[in-house]
Structure 1
């Protein structure tokens, strides 16, 4: 199991990104959260197997809907898990 945090840059707010991220996370059995930031980015933190984390990232990068346009992704990997339950949208 692993924990990663991604910051998505581009057209990622007001386009259904958080709902798409939540759906993709649930499909991949990931736990964590997604949140809009004031600077226009969206942050996702997720825990799960390496394979499922990679699958989630590929799915999101492929653009789950035509309005999402990701320009750049920053990734952080953490050595310790937080033990999240479910996958939530933070406000």
Structure 2
């Protein structure tokens, strides 16, 4: 199991990006969270089987037809074994 912390840059707010990540994560049985940042980026953490997390990361660039991802800052972090779902933080 791996967990990644990701900052997504580009046109990613106001285009359904968070909801799309929640759908994709749930579809792949991944856990974590996603939120908008004040600087226009979206921040998220995703956790699960390594192959499923890699597929999720590959999908981020084209996750919403209205979003335009220009850059991903990805760091590996410690898994949280008690986490049960993927949620949107407001």
Is 2:33 the counterpart of 1:33? yes
Partner residue, 1:43: 43
CA distance in 2 between partners of 1:43 and 1:86 (Å): 16
In angstroms, what is the RMSD of aligned CA positions? 0.9
SS at structure 1 position matched to 2:38: coil
Report the TM-score, using the length of structure 1 for normalisation. 0.93
Report the TM-score, using the length of structure 2 for normalisation. 0.94
Q: Structure 1 segments of 4 or more deviating over 6 A? A: none
Name structure 1 gaps, 5 residues minimum.
none
Partner residue, 1:56: 56
Deviations 1:48-87 (A, max 9, x none): 01101110011111x1232110000000001x21231101
Partner residue, 1:68: 67
- Alpha-carbon deviation of 1:22? 0.2
Residues paired across the two proteins, number: 89
